[in-house]
Amino acid sequence: MKTSLKTYWALFTIFFKAGTFTFAGGLAMLPVIQRDVVDKYQLMSKEDFLEYATLSQTLPGVIALNCASFVGRQVGGTIGMLVAGLGATISAFILMILATILLQFIPQDGPVAGAFQGIRIASSAFILSAAFTLGKHNIKNFFGVFLMLAAFLFVMFTNISAPIVVLAAGAAGYIYHRLKTTRDQKEKR
Amino acid sequence: MMLMYLKLLLVFFRIGALGFGGGYAMMSMIIDEASRFSITSEQFASLTALDMVVPGPIAINAATFIGFLAGGFWGALFATIGVMLPSFIIIILVMRFIERYRENKVMNSFLSGVKPAAVGLIAAAAITIASGVLLLPGASLSALLADPLGSISIVGSAIFFIAAIANIRFNANPILLTVLAGIVGAFLLS
């Protein structure tokens, strides 16, 4: 299958636009990407896109980049994947470098420092609110509540690092399902 | 310096490969790792603020920020490539085996444990970052329990709780809240 330059350009534009004009993370980018990929450029069906968008959220990694990679690879192979991935991240990379340089020029006190401190505080509140939003989707039973609390306590109050907590939670999920299936099978008999 | 670039690449590769639940869930991993690159908790709070002002995926912002502080432009580039690579590799594999992946019981039960844990990780990241900005200089978490009002910024806590409740309970627009918090901060926190 040969992909035209026009398709690569469309891939780059879609993800560049989503990456440049959405704030507060990749999750917010998905609806914007959907509109372009499915409706405007008609690169794939809505069903395909929604499946990729869901997978992008369950797989590890940067959500917007996962989505860009799925769409890019499906539409334009490995080069399409790289082009879409570059589009999704290039403006964050460049603007963040500029912001980090400018950060050093924010005065230590005065109204500008106060405004920036206010923004820091509000942003940390939004992280808490992200936990609530995700909790509504991700926690479906007591086992989930238990895992959430355990992960929170381990990361907050012990030296156990977050990657280990993630792997242990995955292992716990696996064991829980194994036990549940064996129990269900016994009940059936 | 080359060693530093390699370290940034590997550390962020690991964050990308185990970062279930998106950028916010990766935050607690990034907080852990940031101390290796001598990033202070104040700098980390600045990163959270920049996330609201700079567009794009949070993990890309974080990799660029920490990489730049640790090793300049090339540090930023290596850290960002590190956090991106797992996505490319995983998606190539998943697309090759997509039918098998969809029905894979092992993967699904693994994820059923990871997803609730990601919520706990995000909450932990929120508390860690918030305590960095809300505690007065020199105060620790134990001082907070002994003397709550003397060790915490009152105006700051008010901004935190109002922003959190407005966003969680009333779905208020985060960008609007960010602007308001900036205005309030300019008058009351300077």
Q: Which of A80, A89, A31 is nearest to B77 (CA)?
A: A89
A178 touching B, CB under 8 A? yes
- Cβ A152–B112 below 8 Å, yes or no? no
Kindly write down the DSSP assignment for every residue of B9-66, as one continuous string. HHHHHHHHHH-TTHHHHHHHHHHHHHGGGT--HHHHHHHHHHHHHS-S-HHHHHHHHH
CA distances from A171 to A111, A164, A185 (A): 49, 11, 21
CA distances from A82 to A47, A71, B78, B92, B102 (A): 23, 11, 16, 11, 24
A123 touching B, CB under 8 A? yes
Roughly what angle, to the nearest 10 degrees, separates helices B2-18 and A162-188?
Answer: 20
Q: Which token pair is A169?
A: 């939670």
**Which residue is listed with tokens 């999920």?**
A173
- Cβ A64–B91 below 8 Å, yes or no? no
How many contacts, defined by CB atoms under 8 Å, are there between A and B? 370
| Per-residue pLDDT of chain B in tens (190 residues, 90 and over written 9) | 889 999 999 999 999 998 887 788 888 888 888 888 888 888 888 888 888 788 888 899 999 999 999 999 999 999 999 999 999 999 999 888 877 767 778 888 888 898 899 889 889 888 888 888 888 776 666 776 777 777 788 889 999 999 999 988 888 877 788 889 999 999 988 7
- Cβ B128–A178 below 8 Å, yes or no? no
Interface test with B, best of A48, A109, A129, A154 (most B CBs within 10 A): A129
Can you say whether the dihedral through the CA atoms of B121, B51, B133, B37 is positive or negative? positive
Q: Measured between alpha carbons, how far is B108 from B103 in angstroms, rounded to an integer?
A: 8
In this predicted complex, what is the ipTM? 0.82
Interface test with A, best of B37, B43, B60, B188 (most A CBs within 10 A): B60
Its pTM stands at 0.82
